[in-house]
């Protein structure tokens, strides 16, 4: 890593059109997993002006079997979609939860995919697809996430909370943020620029109302980013294009899986390419990305390294991972090497060889826990109950023992 550099990450709010699509897709995942923990779901969502359309493949006991929908299933799917849009807060002429047109094009899972994934006889459950997945952790923040993304997410989460509570009634759901930090010797030392664009109520693009909106956003930035990083040299770009009344799916079409860098590490680490939202946990795009984050976070939490990237690779229908790669970027603790960490991971029996079934079992992924992941990042969140289990640091002592 260079001794001094400038780095930027962005985030988008729950009302961003792509994030609306992600949240709908994951609400459908949760709906089906609540009916059948072994359900198979690959749900893509398109959102645009007054329209939500679902497409993809499913298999779910009691909901869709033998090519037929169970009585009431289609109504429950539509209800879930409308409730998701309502929860986000869209009640606009161009996109309203109650009056939008809904289309459902979900169909049964391909039998050829199913035969590769399902366990049968002596064959263990295989990966739901081929691919490579990356996990990352760094000691920038208490959540062991890149600081640029951490602050970008937190700015928008704070604004959304104020919008929902009524503390900032001039805000509308769509928003984006971007934070640029200067790093020195691997640590953030200054915030050089912040960009926030937020959809707003009519009239908040000029005069006193515009000043009120910008003062509010600047205060949120000051509350989120540590004071020692901000200075009179920090550049603020607040609604730099001017008016932002038309937003969300009415302003731009949304699709599931178009914000994968926002979902992960803000560009500070590699991404395998596969999106997470809309997929059940047999899809290693999702579950293996969660276990690699879990491993990387526990390695940094155990102080075996200050920064860690992990890669896993799978073949569709094959249970055993093809490869495991650890890179601590030269930040290993004394006496620890990347190779030793790789060996230690292999020794931990509870990880079950990192097969898809072992990952789902260890992290408890066959539960309706995914709608909560679909905005403000899948990582750096608080592990609580069944939610965000990949953020737990309960593997620290196992890793230390395996290294020893």
Active-site pick, 163, 258, 306, 362: 258
> Is residue 40 annotated as part of the catalytic site, yes or no?
no
> Is residue 283 annotated as part of the catalytic site, yes or no?
yes
* 174 marked as part of a ligand binding site: yes
Tokens representing 352 are: 């079950």
> Is residue 209 annotated as part of the catalytic site, yes or no?
no
Active-site pick, 153, 200, 279, 307: 279
Nearest CA to 307 among 319, 297, 318?
A: 297
* 258 marked as part of a ligand binding site: yes
Parallel/antiparallel/unpaired status of strands 51-59 and 40-48: antiparallel
CA 71/CA 51 separation, integer angstroms: 24
Active-site pick, 14, 22, 26, 44: 44
> Is residue 19 annotated as part of the catalytic site, yes or no?
yes
CA dihedral angle for residue 371, residue 374, residue 380, residue 385, rounded to 10 degrees = 0
CA 222/CA 216 separation, integer angstroms: 10
Tokens representing 388 are: 């965000």
> Is residue 258 annotated as part of the catalytic site, yes or no?
yes
* 115 marked as part of a ligand binding site: no
> Is residue 44 annotated as part of the catalytic site, yes or no?
yes
> Is residue 253 annotated as part of the catalytic site, yes or no?
yes
Look-up of token digits 């000029």: 206
* 44 marked as part of a ligand binding site: yes
> Is residue 38 annotated as part of the catalytic site, yes or no?
no
Active-site pick, 40, 163, 176, 362: 176
* 82 marked as part of a ligand binding site: no
> Is residue 244 annotated as part of the catalytic site, yes or no?
yes
> Is residue 18 annotated as part of the catalytic site, yes or no?
yes
Active-site pick, 7, 32, 134, 244: 244
CA 52/CA 49 separation, integer angstroms: 8
Active-site pick, 26, 140, 172, 285: 285
CA dihedral angle for residue 336, residue 341, residue 344, residue 349, rounded to 10 degrees = 150
101 bridge partner residues: 51
* 306 marked as part of a ligand binding site: no
The C-alpha angle 90, 92, 94, rounded to 5 degrees, equals 110
* 18 marked as part of a ligand binding site: yes
Active-site pick, 7, 10, 14, 19: 19
* 57 marked as part of a ligand binding site: yes
* 109 marked as part of a ligand binding site: yes
> What is the set of active-site residues?
16, 18-19, 44, 57, 176, 244, 252-253, 258-259, 279, 283, 285
Q: Can you say which residues are annotated as belonging to the binding site?
A: 16, 18, 44, 57, 109, 174-176, 252, 258-259, 275, 279, 283
Q: Can you say which residues are annotated as belonging to the binding site for ATP?
A: 16, 174-176, 252, 258-259, 275, 279
Q: Can you say which residues are annotated as belonging to the binding site for L-methionine?
A: 57, 109, 252, 283
């Amino acid at each position: 890593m260079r001794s001094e550099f400038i780095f930027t990450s962005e985030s988008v709010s729950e009302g961003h059109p792509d994030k609306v699509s992600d949240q709908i897709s994951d609400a459908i995942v949760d709906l089906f997993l609540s009916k059948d923990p072994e359900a198979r779901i690959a749900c893509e969502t398109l959102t645009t002006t007054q329209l939500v359309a679902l497409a993809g493949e499913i298999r779910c006991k009691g909901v869709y079997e033998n090519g037929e929908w169970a009585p009431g299933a289609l109504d429950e799917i539509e209800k879930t979609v409308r409730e998701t849009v309502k929860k986000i807060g869209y009640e606009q002429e161009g996109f309203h939860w109650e009056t939008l047109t809904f289309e459902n094009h979900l169909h049964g899972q391909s039998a050829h995919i199913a035969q590769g994934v399902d366990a049968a006889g002596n064959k263990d459950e295989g990966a739901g697809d081929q691919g490579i997945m990356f996990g990352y952790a760094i000691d920038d923040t208490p959540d062991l996430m890149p600081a640029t993304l951490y602050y970008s997410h937190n700015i928008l989460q704070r604004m959304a909370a104020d919008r929902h509570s009524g503390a900032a009634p001039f805000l509308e759901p769509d928003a984006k943020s971007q934070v640029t930090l200067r790093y020195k010797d691997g640590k953030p030392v200054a915030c050089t620029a912040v960009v926030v664009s937020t959809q707003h109520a009519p009239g908040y693009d000029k005069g006193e109302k515009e000043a009120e909106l910008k003062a509010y956003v600047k205060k949120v930035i000051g509350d989120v980013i540590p004071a020692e990083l901000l200075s009179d040299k920090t550049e603020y770009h607040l609604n730099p294009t001017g008016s932002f009344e038309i937003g969300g799916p009415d302003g731009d079409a949304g699709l599931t899986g178009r914000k994968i860098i926002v979902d992960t590490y803000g560009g500070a680490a590699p991404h395998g390419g596969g999106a997470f939202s809309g997929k059940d946990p047999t899809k290693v795009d999702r579950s293996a990305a969660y276990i690699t984050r879990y491993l990387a976070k526990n390695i940094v939490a155990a102080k075996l390294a200050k920064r860690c990237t992990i890669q896993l690779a799978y073949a569709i229908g094959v249970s055993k991972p093809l490869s495991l790669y650890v890179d601590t970027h030269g930040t290993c603790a004394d006496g620890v090497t990347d190779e030793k960490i790789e060996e230690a991971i292999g020794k931990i029996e509870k990880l079950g060889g990192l097969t898809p079934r072992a990952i789902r079992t260890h992290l408890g992924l066959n539960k309706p826990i995914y709608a909560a992941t679909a905005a403000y990042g899948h990582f750096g969140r608080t592990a609580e109950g069944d939610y965000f289990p990949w953020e737990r640091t309960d593997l620290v002592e196992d890793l230390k023992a395996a290294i020893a």
